[in-house]
Amino acid sequence: MSLLLQTPRAVCRRLLRPGAASPLQDRVVLVTGASSGIGAATARLVAAHGATTLLVARRAETIAALADELVAAGGRAAAYPCDLTDGDAVDALVARVLADHGSVDYLVNNAGRSIRRSLAASHDRFHDFERTMAINYFGPVRLTMGLLPAMREQRFGHVVNIVSWGVQLKAPRFAAYLASKSALDTWARVAARETWDDNVTFTNMRFGLVHTPMVETTVEHYRRWPSLTADQAAARVLRALEDRPVSFNVAAGRAGDVLNLVTPRLADFVMHRLDRSGS
Ligand SMILES: NC(=O)c1ccc[n+]([C@@H]2O[C@H](COP(=O)([O-])OP(=O)(O)OC[C@H]3O[C@@H](n4cnc5c(N)ncnc54)[C@H](OP(=O)(O)O)[C@@H]3O)[C@@H](O)[C@H]2O)c1
């Protein structure tokens, strides 16, 4: 990437200390949704960069096996099974993690679920709106709120939220999913303005399509779209952890931002037509 497009922090680090160790070295990094896809690939990468890697997901055996794999490769890792939609379980997770590690330096709010369903097919499915908010918004907010006091106390912390380019494009059939991701995106932007003095920062990663189990059922529909592998997405998460930019965006997402700002009615028309044409 051109140096001009990088944050001042990244430029200084790369120009002044090109061979230096990753800022993640010997830090504590908690990754949610570490049992699969982007989260598992991110966990492997941050462990390889010297971080103590804490793995969170519901599938206890899967994250335990990944922790064993990371330790066998010479890293430090531990598995913390948790259903992030269960508020009491999140509070217990926070208590355990703080007792074991004192604080978390980097948090990757990656666990999530997507639902692609039109409003017409959703009238008897209010639970779709509730369950996307539960895992994509309330879970990460509760976890972040639990870990934030220790970050502020130590005057360092960085939170990466895996959201979606859809928060910019506002794509039809994704109302439940994108409203919950937009809520997290906005929450982090507000939080960053309150934690500025404490050196606690936030990145919203507005990914486009990534080939993971989450998109298996719709992958045929989007086969002509540009996409990343989970490893490629993880490399971008690693870069966001190290450089702490405000956001990561893809070109189509930025175009969506501009179109929605400058000519929102035309944006509605274009998205409606694209949806009708099956694109
Ligand atoms: N794939 C894409 O095209 C794409 C694009 C933009 C953004 N994203 C976002 O990227 C993130 C990762 O998704 P992915 O594509 O890597 O999908 P994935 O392979 O299906 O991974 C989803 C992860 O979330 C965890 N999870 C789901 N519900 C949970 C719960 N209640 N409690 C704890 N963990 C839970 C799952 O673990 P367990 O089942 O073990 O709990 C799994 O590890 C998501 O937030 C997604 O919205 C994906």
- Per-residue pLDDT at 106 exceeds 70: yes
Does the Cβ of 84 fall within 6 Å of ligand 1?
Answer: yes
Q: How far is the CA of 263 from the centre of ligand 1 (A)?
A: 33
Does the Cβ of 213 fall within 6 Å of ligand 1?
Answer: yes
Which residues neighbour 52 within 8 Å (Cβ) at sequence distance 6 or greater?
26, 27, 28, 29, 76, 77, 78, 101
Question: What pLDDT was estimated at residue 17?
Answer: 67
Q: How far is the CA of 111 from the centre of ligand 1 (A)?
A: 4
**Residues facing 90 on adjacent strands:** none
- Please state the three-class secondary structure of 127-178 as a single string: HHHHHHHHHHHHHHHHHHHHHHHHHHHHCCEEEEEECCCHHHHCCCCCHHHH
Does the Cβ of 253 fall within 6 Å of ligand 1?
Answer: no
Q: What is the SS3 assignment for 36?
A: coil
The residue to mutate among 59, 160, 210, having the most atoms of ligand 1 within 8 angstroms of its beta carbon, is 210
Question: What pLDDT was estimated at residue 217?
Answer: 78
Atom of ligand 1 nearest to the CA of 84: 32
DSSP 8-state secondary structure symbol assigned to residue 32:
E
Q: Using CA atoms, how far apart are residues 96 and 140, in angstroms rounded to an integer?
A: 17
Does the Cβ of 214 fall within 6 Å of ligand 1?
Answer: yes
Does the Cβ of 110 fall within 6 Å of ligand 1?
Answer: yes
User: What are the chain's domains?
Assistant: 23-254 (3.40.50.720)
**Ramachandran category for residue 105: left, alpha or beta (phi over 0 → left; psi -120 to 50 → alpha):** alpha
Atom of ligand 1 nearest to the CA of 210: 3
Residues annotated as part of the active site: 177
Does the Cβ of 219 fall within 6 Å of ligand 1?
Answer: no
- Per-residue pLDDT at 4 exceeds 60: no
Residue with CA at minimum distance from ligand 1 atom 23: 33
Q: How far is the CA of 261 from the centre of ligand 1 (A)?
A: 30
Average pLDDT, the chain: 94
Contact 227/209 with Cβ under 8 angstroms? Answer: yes
State pLDDT tens for residues 107-160. 999 999 999 999 999 999 999 999 999 999 999 999 999 999 999 999 999 999
Q: What is the SS3 assignment for 234?
A: helix
Does the Cβ of 94 fall within 6 Å of ligand 1?
Answer: no
Question: What pLDDT was estimated at residue 90?
Answer: 99
Residue with CA at minimum distance from ligand 1 atom 20: 214
Q: How far is the CA of 19 from the centre of ligand 1 (A)?
A: 33
Residue with CA at minimum distance from ligand 1 atom 47: 112
State pLDDT tens for residues 28-61. 999 999 999 999 999 999 999 999 999 999 999 9
